[in-house]
């Protein structure tokens, strides 16, 4: 699937082993591990210059799917020649559908008009990805 | 991918941090 994107989004769990590894990672990156909620949902750690960081690391995603179940269904692929473990298209579709639903609600319920507009834009972007993923899955089923 | 993105992936691998690529880059992966 061709989709123009720049940032790399990484989803991690918050089990003790990952928390310990992330504390060391944060230190290596010159960040204070104590400043991040590594051991409970809510982490959003960025690497690179804002407002368009190179990497965004999250320990929660829309719809709150089970990390290990998604990991077991993931695919070992390559990204520009670099080996990566990528979430399955089915699981990514479910996350994007959950995200679009949340953005639809925010677009109506948020008090700040700028945030409402941002939610509308995000929902549109997610729906474009949902259409791409649905087409990809339909073509794969046909093949 | 940018050099910084590759560096983060290498650090994750070295530190054995379990992770999944999600979002648009997951859609680009082959």
Query: Residues A97-142: pLDDT tens digits?
Result: 999 999 999 999 999 999 999 999 999 999 999 999 999 999 988 9
Closest CA to A12 of A42, A48, A33, A34: A42
**Residue B19, domain extent:** 1-30
pLDDT at A67: 97
- Domains of chain B: total: 1
Note whether A14 contacts B: Cβ–Cβ < 8 A: no
Q: What pLDDT sits at residue A55?
A: 95
pTM of the model: 0.90
- A44-72 confidence digits (pLDDT tens): 999 999 888 999 999 999 999 999 999 99
Interface touch A10/B18, C-beta < 8 Å = no
Mean pLDDT of chain B: 93
- Of A16, A21, A42, the residue nearest A33 (C-alpha): A21
- Interface check for B4 against chain A (CB to CB < 8 A): the answer is yes
* Residue A1: predicted pLDDT: 61
Please write down the long-range contacts of A25-28, taking CB distance under 8 Å and 24 or more positions apart: A25/B11, A25/B12, A25/B15, A25/B17, A28/B11
Q: Which of chain A's residues have a Cβ under 8 Å away from the Cβ of B24?
A: 3-5, 7, 9, 129
Contact A9 B28 (CB under 8 A): no
Is pLDDT at A3 greater than 60 in this prediction?
Answer: no
Q: Search chain A and give the residue with CA nearest B25.
A: A8
Residue B7 pLDDT grade (very low, low, confident, very high; cuts 50, 70, 90): very high
State the ipTM, two decimals: 0.96
* Neighboring chain A residues of B29 at a CB cutoff of 8 Å: 75, 77-79, 84, 86
């Amino acid at each position: 699937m061709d989709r123009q994107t720049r940032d790399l989004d990484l989803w991690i769990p918050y089990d003790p082993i990952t928390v310990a590894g992330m504390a060391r990672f944060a230190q290596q990156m010159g960040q204070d591990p104590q400043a991040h909620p590594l051991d409970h949902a809510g982490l959003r750690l960025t690497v690179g210059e804002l407002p368009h960081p190179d990497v965004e690391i999250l320990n929660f995603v829309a719809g709150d799917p089970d990390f290990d179940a998604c990991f077991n269904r993931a695919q070992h692929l390559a990204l520009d020649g670099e080996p990566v473990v990528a979430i399955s298209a089915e699981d990514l579709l479910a996350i994007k559908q959950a995200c679009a639903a949340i953005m639809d609600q925010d677009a109506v319920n948020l008090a700040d008009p700028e945030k409402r507009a941002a939610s509308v834009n995000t929902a549109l972007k997610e729906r474009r990805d949902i259409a791409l993923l649905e087409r990809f899955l339909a073509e794969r089923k046909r093949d | 991918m940018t050099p910084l993105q590759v560096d983060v992936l290498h650090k994750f691998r070295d530190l054995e941090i379990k992770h999944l690529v999600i979002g648009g880059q997951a859609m680009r992966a082959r």
